[in-house]
Amino acid sequence: MKSKSAQKVKLTSYDDLFGTSESVSGEAVTSVPVSQLHPFKGHPFRVADDAKMQETVESVKQHGVLVPGIVRPYPDGGYEIISGHRRRRACELAGIKEMPVIIRDLDDDAATVIMVDANLQREDILPSEKAKAYKMKYEAMKHQGSKGEKFTADVVGEAAGESGRTVQRYIRLAELVPELLEYVDVKKISLVIGEMLSYLKVEEQSWLVDAVANSGVFPSKAQAERLKEESKAGKLTEAGIYAVLVKKESGKASVTISAKKLSDYFPPAYTKERMERVIFQLLEEWKQNGGKGESCNGEDTV
């Protein structure tokens, strides 16, 4: 016979697998066809066929779905999942045709809050998922009547045990282009730096993505702050981003070339920004070529 402590551990494991802390006390549980369950609109969390999903599949095969999902009527028929996306996928992979659910009549804002809170208890949530989820919950709570940005952010973070300031940082991450947001996910860019970069315009962020890809250098906190300030002042250029990253990487020597010397190599119509862009592009090509290219007198040439 299994000990009570062993049973308790097993049940906790199931709850972790299904990722929900929703109480089902006093509500009717109904079995509905898996084919009638539709994902929540804009669902920000991954439903990956990974090792954890396989564990869930095996558990569902042996014990069924122990914790019902939460759904609401879907406009085109069937039901929209509020909590239970992973359970639905597990049923699908396990060949189970029906899944137990609790049907609730919820508006968009209430459904969004429940959907986010039910998933934030998981341990493997990416910053990008938190960013999108917190933004969805934040906007939903504002619609529900919460007043004041700080107050709302504090309330948004309560369910996950995070401060309002941290929530605000994650919400800012949602303004990053996908490539930069992925860098935050893989820890190439920190949350604080990501927040600073989120204030750059979309085009400026795209320039930064290209600069990072070409140079292999990620901005430090100081460089991110500088990029943010230059963007706010309307002075940030593509060449300027390269200049910030190159300065970070080398930082050993300062080279100044007079405008008079540069004018010998560029058409009169070229602006300062355009000349800088050409120079950095040529330097990048030289770097990728292994720094090869020297003149007969031993001086490096571009």
Whether 3 shows a pLDDT value over 70: the answer reads: no
Q: 266 lies in a domain?
A: yes
Q: 297 lies in a domain?
A: no
Domain count, the chain: 2
Cα 196 from Cα 216, distance rounded (Å): 19
Predicted confidence (pLDDT) per residue in 187-246, tens digit: 999 999 999 999 999 999 999 999 999 888 999 999 999 999 999 999 999 999 999 988
The residue out of 123, 154, 173 marking a domain boundary is: 123
- When pLDDT is cut at 50, 70 and 90, the band that residue 297 belongs to is very low
The residue ranking higher by pLDDT, 282 or 1, is 282
- The dihedral through the CA atoms of 259, 265, 270, 273 has a sign that is negative
Q: 300 lies in a domain?
A: no
Whether 41 shows a pLDDT value over 70: the answer reads: yes
Angle at 124 between CA 121 and CA 126, to 5 degrees: 105
The residue out of 123, 147, 182 marking a domain boundary is: 123
Predicted confidence (pLDDT) per residue in 131-153, tens digit: 999 999 999 988 877 555 556 78
The residue out of 86, 103, 123 marking a domain boundary is: 123
Whether 5 shows a pLDDT value over 50: the answer reads: no
**Are the C-beta atoms of residues 256 and 223 closer than 8 Å to each other?**
no
Angle at 39 between CA 34 and CA 44, to 5 degrees: 145
Predicted confidence (pLDDT) per residue in 44-93, tens digit: 999 999 999 999 999 999 999 999 999 999 988 899 999 999 999 999 99
Q: 248 lies in a domain?
A: no
Q: 162 lies in a domain?
A: no
Q: What is the span of the domain harbouring residue 91?
A: 4-123
**Are the C-beta atoms of residues 293 and 300 closer than 8 Å to each other?**
yes
Q: 18 lies in a domain?
A: yes
Q: What is the pLDDT of residue 88?
A: 96
Cα 279 from Cα 273, distance rounded (Å): 10
Q: 63 lies in a domain?
A: yes
Q: 221 lies in a domain?
A: no
Share of the chain above pLDDT 90, in %: 56
Q: CATH code at 66?
A: 3.90.1530.10
Whether 114 shows a pLDDT value over 50: the answer reads: yes
Cα 82 from Cα 111, distance rounded (Å): 6
Cα distances (angstroms) measured from residue 78 to each of 32, 70, 74, 103, 262: 9, 13, 5, 11, 68
Cα distances (angstroms) measured from residue 279 to each of 72, 222, 246, 274, 285: 58, 24, 12, 9, 10
